[in-house]
Amino acid sequence: MNEDKLRQFAALVEKWSAKINLVSKSDLPHIWERHVQDSLRLVPYIPAGTSRAIDIGSGAGFPGLVLAIATGIPFDLVESDIRKAAFLREAARITGAPAKIHNARIEAGGLEPAPLVTARALAPLDKLLGLASPLLAPDGVCLFPKGRGWEAELTAAKALWHMQAERISAPGWGESCILKVSQIRHAG
Is residue 27 included in any domain, yes or no? yes
- DSSP for 100-166 reads EEE-S-GGG--PPPEEEEE-SSSS-HHHHHHHHGGGEEEEEEEEEEE-TTHHHHHHHHHTTEEEEEE
**What H or E segment, with its residue span, contains residue 56?**
strand 53-56
Does the annotation flag 73 for ligand binding? no
Domain containing residue 89: CATH number: 3.40.50.150
Of the candidates 131, 105, 103, which has an alpha carbon nearest to the alpha carbon of residue 118? 131
Check residue 172 and give its pLDDT: 79
- Coil, strand or helix at 14: helix
Q: What is the pLDDT of residues 72-121, one digit of tens each?
A: 999 999 999 999 999 999 999 999 999 999 999 988 878 999 999 999 98
Check residue 1 and give its pLDDT: 64
Domain span at 119: 3-137
Does the annotation flag 107 for ligand binding? yes
Is residue 161 included in any domain, yes or no? no
Does the annotation flag 62 for ligand binding? yes
Does the annotation flag 89 for ligand binding? no
Q: Rg of the chain over CA atoms, in angstroms?
A: 16
- Coil, strand or helix at 42: coil
Check residue 2 and give its pLDDT: 87
User: What is the spatial order of strands in the sheet that 114-118 belongs to?
Assistant: 99-102, 75-78, 53-56, 114-118, 136-146, 177-186, 161-168
| Each residue's pLDDT expressed in tens, for the chain with a length of 188 residues | 689 999 999 999 999 998 898 888 887 778 888 889 999 999 999 999 999 999 999 999 999 999 999 999 999 999 999 999 999 999 999 999 999 999 999 888 789 999 999 999 899 999 999 999 999 999 999 999 998 899 999 999 999 999 999 999 977 788 889 999 999 998 87
Count of domains forming the chain = 1
Give me the amino acid identity at 51: S
Is residue 166 included in any domain, yes or no? no
Is residue 60 included in any domain, yes or no? yes
Of the candidates 58, 66, 87, which has an alpha carbon nearest to the alpha carbon of residue 7? 66
